[in-house]
Amino acid sequence: MNEPILMPRWWLALTKVLCEAEPEEALRLRLSRLHGQVPFQLFHLWQADVVMPMLCEALPEHQQALFSLQSLHQRAALGVIGRQGEWRAALKPVLLTLYRKAYAYDAAYAQAHASALTYGLAPANTAMIAEHFGDAEAFAEYYAQLNTEAAATAFAQVHASANAEVSARAFAKDDADTCAQICGASVRVYVGACASSDEQRHAALNHLAAGLERSLATLQSRSTGERHE
């Protein structure tokens, strides 16, 4: 009989999200039915070896910030835990970028544009729109860009600040239960920042899931002194 209740909360939360894309069945079963020890160090190893390289490839202009965060995860995977301030300083710029990239900008822009166009075409507003913007389409474009940029920035700042604070506290205290509260949502942000279609999202989730299994094998081989290929 399987014993998922014995698995740590962070592992259950993480694999639940990773398996949403329905990856190859054997892999999905290995992740969901794993028995034995799953140390929290695995999360850091997976971040360093799988997540950060994926983000670096998708966001090459932000590699320096990603390398700084990767370094902290590499150290934590070896048992050297960074201070809360170090984690916060490394997490915040990365999360700001990720949340900004993950924001549904096109959908928000389209909605704002449609609303503004309706307003601009209303007979009562025609004269004012013509005087200040030329026509309703110009007003709609101006409003949609202004509104969407402000919303995207606010979305990124609020979510990045909250996630960075919770994550920094969890990592500095080696608190796996607190990590369980944010690791699933964090995966969605990674994928949202790297993918723009359902196909790409599924591929990213499958890549992260397979990488988690490789990281586990690496950690297990380290503990037994075996070489993992």
> Would you list the domain boundaries of the chain?
39-102+157-224
- Cα–Cα distance, 23 to 210 (Å, whole number): 9
User: What are the backbone angles phi and psi of residue 196, rounded to the nearest 5°?
Assistant: -125, 5
The gap between the terminal CA atoms of the chain, to the nearest Å, is: 30
- Residue 90's nearest CA partner among 160, 174, 187 is 160
Predicted TM-score (pTM) above 0.95: no
- Residue 167's nearest CA partner among 91, 101, 72, 102 is 91
Q: What angle do CA 199, 206, 209 make, to 5 degrees?
A: 155
Q: Which pLDDT belongs to residue 127? A: 94
Give average pLDDT by consecutive 10-residue segment, the chain, 229 residues.
64 88 62 70 96 96 96 96 97 96 94 96 94 95 97 96 96 95 94 92 92 86 59
